[in-house]
């Protein structure tokens, strides 16, 4: 499970963040600069308040993190902007999708210890130069009145549901079926050939 | 809805990447020279030669498809050379060379296309690569 560092001084907001982030992430909390510096290599994403300490500022946190991990600003101040930001008033609906989206940037593939290559298909990476490629369905993303859902193509089991948008379902699916994700083992077990489309 | 893409064993398509892989394993290499095998009794012109012990090399040669094959006296290597390396079997050595060659090929190819590559190794010695458009 991906780890998210939350830097937030309000216990109420911490409780709210933990409530809806902990379904997809391991949440760690800190307000201490030394501890934050130590934690950065160990977490995948940072969610940071703007006004939370007279000593440690949001700008300082961004400086500490540098380009190592994505940072989301989650602030109640309407006049504060940052490239990845969510107003606290919209945190419940926007924070998790943005976190998942930032964590799923890029194309992930695995080169196995046996010399093979496997990945969730992405048109940006063409593996055919390395030999004969097999492509097969991983999942079905469909709609029902309660929202978009994801079913495993291998087992038919419902994996996740209730997504407000199709993009949220696809973002979740990409995380689930990436190396290290909970669904990654399905590619290890699969040996079907040829289905494309 | 998504699809998995899978390839059982990657073929070697880049001699530079193969040489980088061998060097990463601490092995000595030469380019465009003669590889020896069977205690020096056989020889073969190769694009890359990996020197295991005197008289027995791994040769990387271009095949008719424009890709590369590894050739060596693998049976002798299994009994003699492997005991001095980090690998338990010849197959382990071959697999690791192919794996690292593929890593160097992908990182180099996609860097030229404007991607940054993050590579990490998991507990099963698989390499997880993330390509991020820089």
ipTM for the predicted complex comes to: 0.94
**Mean of the pLDDT values across residues A31-37?**
94
Which residue among A106, A114, A132 places its CB closest to the CB of B132?
A106
Whether B8 and chain A come into contact, CB under 8 Å, resolves to: yes
Calpha distance B29→B18 (Å, rounded): 10
Contacts with A173 from chain B: Cβ below 8 Å = 1-2
Topology, domain A2-103:
Rossmann fold (3.40.50)
Q: Where does the pLDDT of residue A127 fall: very low under 50, low under 70, confident under 90, or very high at 90 and above?
A: very high
The residue of chain A nearest to residue B5, with distances taken between CA atoms, is A135
- Residue A92 clears pLDDT 90, i.e. is over it: no
Q: What are phi and psi of A191, to 5 degrees?
A: -140, 25
**pTM summary value:** 0.73
Calpha distance A177→A139 (Å, rounded): 9
At A83 the pLDDT is: 83
Calpha distance A170→A180 (Å, rounded): 17
Calpha distance A127→A133 (Å, rounded): 7
Calpha distance A78→B8 (Å, rounded): 52
SS3 B6: strand
At A34 the pLDDT is: 94
- Interchain contact, B106 vs A111, CB within 8 Å: yes
- Residue A149 clears pLDDT 90, i.e. is over it: yes
At A179 the pLDDT is: 84
Per-domain residue ranges of chain B: 15-133
Is residue A193 a contact partner of residue A183, using CB atoms and an 8 Å limit? no
Whether A125 and chain B come into contact, CB under 8 Å, resolves to: yes
As to burial, measured by CB atoms within 10 angstroms (0-12 exposed, 13-18 middle, 19+ buried), residue A75 is buried
Better-predicted residue by pLDDT, A93 or B79: A93
At A23 the pLDDT is: 82
SS3 A62: helix
At A52 the pLDDT is: 87
Question: pLDDT tens track of chain B, all 134 residues?
Answer: 689 999 999 999 999 999 999 999 999 999 999 999 888 889 999 999 999 888 889 999 999 999 999 999 888 777 666 666 678 788 999 999 999 999 999 999 999 988 888 899 999 999 999 998 76
- Interchain contact, B6 vs A109, CB within 8 Å: no
**Mean of the pLDDT values across residues A88-94?**
85
Min mean pLDDT across A43-57, A168-182, B28-42, B89-103 is at A168-182
Whether B79 and chain A come into contact, CB under 8 Å, resolves to: no
- Residue A163 clears pLDDT 90, i.e. is over it: no
Contacts with B117 from chain A: Cβ below 8 Å = none
At B115 the pLDDT is: 86
**Mean of the pLDDT values across residues A28-35?**
94
Q: Which two tokens stand for residue A49?
A: 């308040």
At A197 the pLDDT is: 32
Contacts with B115 from chain A: Cβ below 8 Å = 106-107
- Interchain contact, B98 vs A133, CB within 8 Å: no
Per-domain residue ranges of chain A: 2-103, 110-189
Q: What are phi and psi of B82, to 5 degrees?
A: -65, -30
Is residue B9 a contact partner of residue B98, using CB atoms and an 8 Å limit? yes
CB atoms within 10 A of CB A165: 11
The residue of chain B nearest to residue A123, with distances taken between CA atoms, is B5
At A194 the pLDDT is: 45
- Interchain contact, B126 vs A113, CB within 8 Å: yes
Q: Which of A114, A142, A152 to mutate to test the interface with B (most CBs of B within 10 A)?
A: A114
Better-predicted residue by pLDDT, A52 or B106: B106
Sign of the torsion formed by the C-alpha atoms of B57, B103, A136 and A133: negative
Calpha distance B72→B94 (Å, rounded): 11
Calpha distance A75→A89 (Å, rounded): 9
Calpha distance A42→B52 (Å, rounded): 39
CB within 8 Å of chain A, chain B residues 9-48: 9-11, 13
Which residue among B9, B95, B132 places its CB closest to the CB of A105?
B132
At B31 the pLDDT is: 97
- Residue A196 clears pLDDT 60, i.e. is over it: no
Looking at every residue in chain A, the average pLDDT score rounds to 87
- Residue A78 clears pLDDT 90, i.e. is over it: no
Whether B123 and chain A come into contact, CB under 8 Å, resolves to: no
Burial code (b: 16+ CB inside 10 Å, e: under 16) for B9-45 equals: bbbbbbbebbbbbbeeeebebeeeeebbbeeeeeeee
Contacts with B123 from chain A: Cβ below 8 Å = none
Whether B61 and chain A come into contact, CB under 8 Å, resolves to: no
At A143 the pLDDT is: 95
- Residue A130 clears pLDDT 70, i.e. is over it: yes
């Amino acid at each position: 499970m991906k780890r998210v560092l939350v830097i937030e001084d309000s216990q109420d907001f911490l409780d709210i963040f933990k409530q809806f982030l902990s379904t997809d992430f391991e949440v760690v909390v800190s307000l201490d600069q030394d501890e934050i510096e130590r934690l950065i290599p160990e977490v995948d994403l940072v969610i940071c308040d703007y006004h939370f300490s007279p000593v440690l500022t949001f700008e300082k946190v961004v400086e500490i993190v540098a380009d190592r991990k994505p940072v989301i600003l989650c602030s109640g101040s309407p006049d504060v902007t940052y490239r990845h930001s969510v107003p606290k008033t919209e945190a419940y609906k926007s924070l998790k999708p943005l976190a998942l989206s930032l964590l799923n940037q890029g194309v992930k593939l695995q080169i196995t210890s046996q010399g093979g290559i496997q990945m969730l298909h992405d048109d940006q990476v063409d593996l055919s130069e390395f030999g004969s490629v097999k492509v097969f369905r991983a999942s079905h993303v469909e709609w029902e009145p309660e929202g978009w859902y994801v079913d495993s193509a291998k087992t038919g089991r419902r994996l996740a549901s209730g997504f407000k948008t199709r993009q949220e379902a696809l973002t979740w699916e990409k995380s689930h079926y990436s190396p290290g994700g909970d669904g990654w083992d399905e590619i290890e077990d699969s040996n079907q050939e040829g289905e494309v489309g | 809805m998504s699809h998995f893409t899978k390839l059982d064993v990657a073929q070697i398509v880049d001699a530079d990447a193969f040489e980088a892989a061998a060097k990463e394993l601490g092995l000595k290499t030469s380019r465009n020279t003669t590889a020896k095998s069977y205690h020096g009794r056989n020889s073969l012109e190769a694009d890359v030669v990996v020197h295991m012990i005197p008289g027995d090399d791994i040769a990387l040669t271009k095949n008719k498809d424009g890709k590369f094959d590894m050739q060596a006296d693998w049976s002798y290597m299994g009994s003699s050379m492997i005991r001095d390396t980090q690998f338990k079997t010849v197959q382990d050595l071959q697999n690791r060379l192919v794996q690292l060659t593929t890593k160097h090929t992908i990182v180099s190819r996609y860097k030229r296309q404007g991607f940054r590559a993050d590579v990490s190794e998991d507990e099963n010695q698989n390499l997880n690569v993330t390509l991020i458009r820089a």
